[in-house]
Structure 1
Amino acid sequence: MPEIESFTLDHTAVLAPYVRRIGVEHGPSGDAITNFDVRLVQPNEGEIPTAGLHTLEHMLAGLLRERIAGVIDISPFGCRTGFHLLMWGEPAVADVVRALTDSLRFIAEDAVEADIPGVSALACGNYRDHSLHSAREWAKVVLERGISQDAFARVGV
């Protein structure tokens, strides 16, 4: 079985919240895709409830695309502590942190139900499982702690 980088990470040594560049893959034409670990909650100490995580996923999908070029996808970890963020090119971690911070600030301070995209039966496979209240509260927690640019130290918060 191939080695999966996420499963080799020492989850007991990281200090969430942080953004970490997992790696860069290059396609046959030389295109680069960068995978980021966007960790919002300390692993094995907590998790974002499903409805809040689902709402964060839907909102970040659009908000990040408005704030930083090259977003391909943002998908939640099964452990519910954060997201994989896939992007074209090799963006700097600091730029991702800025876009994420601004997006979470909008969710925490200004978002209303109408700002959540894709919450119909046509647009979402589990459209009833959303919570703006939970997403807002978790966004506030992350912003209060600050998002580090280093998974193992509180840098650039």
Structure 2
Amino acid sequence: MSKKQAMNVESFNLDHTKVKAPFIRLAGVKKGVNGDVIHKYDLRFTQPNKEHMEMAAIHSLEHMMAEFSRDHSNKIVDISPMGCQTGYYLSVINHDDYDDILMIVEKTLTDVLSATEVPACNEVQCGWAASHSLEGAKELAKAMLSHRDEWTEVFS
């Protein structure tokens, strides 16, 4: 039997049946021609192929993490939800301190718990303003934070 050829997308090479969510793992590093380095992290909230997050909650948590994370670091490039609805990708520039990433995520999710509204939740600032859930976002944040001591354990 021949070995499977590696795919171009890093997460497609990850055996999703072997991971144990929630976790935060380094998913890739890209070096730019001018010396900048982008680190991409997999913030996995739910167990792949067993659970998923609801879209309104994902959307609201995306808005909240995108806004609040920048209060804790000027290295944030982007936070993007995964199409499989199990987590997010966090990209940072010129910052390779994994423990600091964990702290940024923890502080950001803690901010979510005390939020009273979803930032930019209106038709002027959002492309689908009707699809939001503050309470759903808070539930996702609370669940992720409740497993804070497991975030470094990717595989079961």
Deviation by residue 1:15-37 (Cα, 9 ceiling, x = unmatched): 11111111111111111111111
Q: Which residue of 1 aligns with 2:14?
A: 9
**Residues 4-43 of structure 1: pairs in structure 2 closer than 5 A:** 4-43=9-48
How far apart are residue 2 of structure 1 and its match? 5.8
Among 148, 151, 154, the alignment partner of 1:148 is 151
Task: State TM-score, norm by structure 2.
Answer: 0.90
Q: Please state whether the residue corresponding to 1:62 is helix, strand or coil.
A: helix
Deviation by residue 1:53-82 (Cα, 9 ceiling, x = unmatched): 000000000111111231010000001111
**Residues 1-157 of structure 1: pairs in structure 2 closer than 5 A:** 3-108=8-113, 110-113=114-117, 116-146=118-148, 147-152=150-155
Q: Please state whether the residue corresponding to 1:38 is helix, strand or coil.
A: strand
- In 2: Cα distance, 1:137 partner to 1:51 partner: 12
- In 2: Cα distance, 1:48 partner to 1:13 partner: 20
2:7–2:13: 8 Å Cα contact kept in structure 1? no
- In 2: Cα distance, 1:2 partner to 1:81 partner: 20
Unaligned runs of 5+ in 1: none
Determine which structure has more spread, i.e. the larger CA radius of gyration. Answer: 2
- In 2: Cα distance, 1:93 partner to 1:43 partner: 23
Of 117-126 and 50-59, the range deviating more from structure 2: 117-126
- In 1: Cα distance, 2:49 partner to 2:106 partner: 23
Deviation by residue 1:74-94 (Cα, 9 ceiling, x = unmatched): 000001111111110132221
How far apart are residue 121 of structure 1 and its match? 0.8
Read off the aligned partner of 2:36 and give its amino acid letter.
Answer: D
Q: Please provide the CA RMSD for this pair.
A: 1.6
- Of all paired residues, the percent bearing the same amino acid is 37
Q: How many residues in Structure 1 have an aligned counterpart in Structure 2?
A: 150
- Runs of 4+ residues deviating >4 angstroms: none
1:24–1:34: 8 Å Cα contact kept in structure 2? yes
1:24–1:90: 8 Å Cα contact kept in structure 2? no
